[in-house]
Structure 1
């Protein structure tokens, strides 16, 4: 790989890592936080859902803003807001304040979700873009593998507020890297002046594109299944299976390992078989694995090794689906890449928040509600792939 390619992958990976870092490091602290505030599990899960809602919806503003002002100024604003509210979260006096602050925190965090995707599209398309996206995901893999362990280590001596201070430090490092090392990839001549009508027409163009919408929703259902897991994993692993916070962190890292390992093969498989074929077959594997896991637990096979092992396999298929579908969805929308990335991110985050809301209402401490939610997301993704990945969409994606 060229040095410039590696530099971009590291910087964009670290930027993209900050949002998940604020989620993954927080997961081991959720049971202790609920106990500390004297609130039920569902109330603590609202702090996660409020973050996801803002994280998703506000990408609609960052995307067009990055098309108008360049990629870096909106990143500066978002990272600054993200860092300030992270510190404020550490001193939240009640669960209500924490829910509200997590929402504002998500407003800032939304900048690091959509803008790095647009930066990738500014520089690369096709399999090169997929390769950069998967390299970025390799850097992001640090978060689910290490963040829960760091959160557990900080929580033991300092309590759950220390998690938010650590997030603020990570954001400060990201802001310094953005200012000093990240180039501006959108030239002034290519920027789009703000016109509300033009922005609405761009959104309308995207909504009318069946390929873009289908690919976005396929990736969105995969992400929704993972968000459902995020919302319940700490309670399931520590409550139902009796794991300590540190043991939960290790099990969570193992579940994430399959996703990020398989994502590194997405570009090579796309070059050999075609990106659309990779998405179709990977979605089929995701749906098969998730449905089988749900059926086994519904039949009474409640086993922690079985759960972790099958989730590892299922997430491995997701590691092929999500980066490839992201790149394919942007390929035909270079002039409005920021807006397309923002709308895609918003739709996917809203689906994630909806999955959290559903699984929070039905979660009873056992694995089955979570597994049923994951299987449902997988089967919807399979139906979407059958409906959209054919004909003109296949030809355009493989051109």
Structure 2
């Protein structure tokens, strides 16, 4: 489980560590704030598109071979980021880096579903959040420290070392959880048919979209907070790291409370309660955005409540999405991840388009994602009065 948590965190490490470096990258590559934010958008594009490849490949060949291949691609992309001499080159290599990083995320989820029933999967996802939650705590702090003593390129150099460590651990420690299926064709027709089967499941679609919208609020925070907190409110990179740390601690604690409460509750009840908490955070963000004055404490409070409640939303939305598809866990996990990162890409792109030099696009963007997540589940979700039927993995 520790290794799965580390593999799930590979995307977070690749994002969180370089966020404090946004201003330094802007100066070093002689570009604009918007262009630097597009390096994050490029990463999201890679994350959403790559997952569609790893899901069917892992259902056909098992989880280990695609994961090993993805980690090799991640290492190559990280080397490219380290050596990039222009913002366009950095965008390209961030895209390649993401195409590799998404293998860890989609296949770790699939492995959990291979081994667990839906409720136990939700508890396992909460455990993964505890492990991968170390990344949002340490990565920004480490990134901020690196900027005080060295160059932003060192951040990507550490990504290279992290990728090599993950590759060695995967090859030597991770056991296969899914028997390769010779009948799982990789032709376009069968692959799209498998995608369609999963998408026709209302439980999957509603929970994946609702969870994806909430997750888009998280990535709106990731994309917008460096400008808002460092440039607009003049926090130092190290202070920004501590703010990031506090929000990550809230998310981790909530995920562990969620795991404990699942012993006596079902995943749907916990998801609904978590989204109500997200709504409370969204309300604080709206008030902060409408105030028109420097309301840093209120803004930080809204972010903290929103981020903390994701500790209840993310594990249960993921478990509910994958519950009905043990035989297609790789494909379902890939589609879920693609929806999430697709929504994240749209949210961060929209925030960049309406960027006006204030905190309003950031605050309203996060709030809109949270409200939309709640509305999707409230209006389209199937009302479950009992836990989902426990499914036994076939692999």
| TM bucket normalised to smaller | over 0.9
Partners of 2:175 and 2:339 in 1: CA distance = 28
- Aligned position for 2:71: 79
Match of residue 360, structure 2, among 351, 368, 371: 368
Partners of 1:293 and 1:301 in 2: CA distance = 13
Residues 209 and 287 of structure 1, relative CA distance in 2, 3 Å threshold: same
TM normalised by structure 1 equals: 0.94
Partners of 1:199 and 1:131 in 2: CA distance = 30
Match of residue 179, structure 2, among 187, 192, 207: 187
Q: How does 1:107-256 map to 2 (within 5 A)?
A: 107-188=99-180, 192-256=184-248
Q: Does 1:263 align with 2:258?
A: no
How many pairs align? 390
| Deviation of the 1:89 alpha carbon | 0.8
Aligned residues of 2:203 and 2:381 also touching (Cα < 8 A): yes
Partners of 2:297 and 2:389 in 1: CA distance = 39
Partners of 1:194 and 1:23 in 2: CA distance = 31
Q: Does 1:28 align with 2:20?
A: yes
Partners of 2:181 and 2:156 in 1: CA distance = 40
- Aligned position for 2:92: 100
Q: Which has the higher helix share?
A: 1
Partners of 2:281 and 2:304 in 1: CA distance = 10
| CA RMSD, 1 decimal | 1.6
Partners of 1:102 and 1:293 in 2: CA distance = 30
Match of residue 286, structure 1, among 250, 258, 278: 278
| Deviation of the 1:387 alpha carbon | 2.0
Aligned residues of 2:208 and 2:336 also touching (Cα < 8 A): yes
Partners of 2:118 and 2:79 in 1: CA distance = 40
Aligned residues of 1:284 and 1:382 also touching (Cα < 8 A): yes
Aligned residues of 1:274 and 1:398 also touching (Cα < 8 A): no
**SS in structure 1 at match of 2:9:** helix
Q: Does 1:12 align with 2:13?
A: no
Match of residue 275, structure 1, among 264, 267, 291: 267
Structure 2 unmatched ranges of 5 or more: 391-395
| Deviation of the 1:196 alpha carbon | 3.1
TM normalised by structure 2 equals: 0.95
- Aligned position for 1:48: 40
| Deviation of the 1:305 alpha carbon | 2.3
Partners of 2:311 and 2:267 in 1: CA distance = 13
| Deviation of the 1:194 alpha carbon | 2.9
Partners of 1:115 and 1:164 in 2: CA distance = 23
- Aligned position for 1:397: 388
- Aligned position for 2:60: 68
